[in-house]
Amino acid sequence: MSDDWNARVDAVWADAGLSDLERIAAIDALAAERDDDDPRALYERAGARDSAGLEEDAEPLYRAALRSPLAPDVRTQAVIQLASTLRNLGRVDEALALLEAEYDRTEGTALHDAVAAFLALALVSAGDADRAAAVALQALAPHLPRYTRSVTGYAREIAERRA
């Protein structure tokens, strides 16, 4: 994928003046420069629809993108966004399954905390607020200037209480 294509995609996303439909059209025009089954183009098309609140249109595009290799960070973003879409569509169990697998897979990566945030949201939607708090606190703890060990311990205590 060319740096120019990526830069043009980034520019579309950065343009706050575009309406949702204009953004979809712009992303679709860029995606049309790629093969129909190009996973990155499918991912961008899904994201444009998802961002516009068209989750039912986004879901099959995310799934198609995830069937092919994506760069690791883009793959994680696609999983997060698909899971968020599924949660918004009321399919919380499916969202949880995706996020729990991605949470384990991304440990130690730059996007692990983002996965944790969406996993916590899905857990709240599933009625498991204690586990959601534990996941969120475990993600937050390393970023605290003080109390990292205490918050990590309390988060584990909450998680163990639920196990």
- pLDDT tens for residues 37-48? 999 999 999 999
Helix ranges, the chain (H): 3-14, 20-31, 39-51, 55-66, 72-88, 92-105, 112-125, 129-140, 148-162
Band of residue 52 on the pLDDT scale cut at 50, 70, 90: very high
Asked if 136 and 115 count as a contact pair (C-beta separation under 8 A), the reply is no
**Six-digit token string for 76:** 């994680």
Phi, psi angle pair for 11, to nearest 5°? -65, -40
- Kindly give, in sequence order, each residue whose CB lies less than 8 Å from that of residue 86, ignoring residues fewer than 6 positions away: 59, 92, 94, 95, 98
- Kindly give, in sequence order, each residue whose CB lies less than 8 Å from that of residue 39, ignoring residues fewer than 6 positions away: 64, 65, 66, 67, 68, 69, 70
pLDDT digits (tens, 9 = 90+) for 91-123: 999 999 999 999 999 999 999 999 999 999 999
Answer whether residue 159 shows pLDDT above 90: no
Answer whether residue 1 shows pLDDT above 60: no
Domain boundaries, the chain: 1-70, 94-162
Locate tokens 């069937």: which residue? 67
Whole-model pTM above 0.85?
A: yes
**Six-digit token string for 112:** 């692990």
pLDDT at 2: 73
Q: What angle do CA 76, 79, 82 make, to 5 degrees?
A: 150
Kindly state the DSSP code that residue 128 receives in the 8-state scheme. -
**Which has the higher per-residue pLDDT, 112 or 161?**
112
* The architecture CATH gives domain 1-70: Alpha Horseshoe (1.25)
Asked if 5 and 30 count as a contact pair (C-beta separation under 8 A), the reply is yes
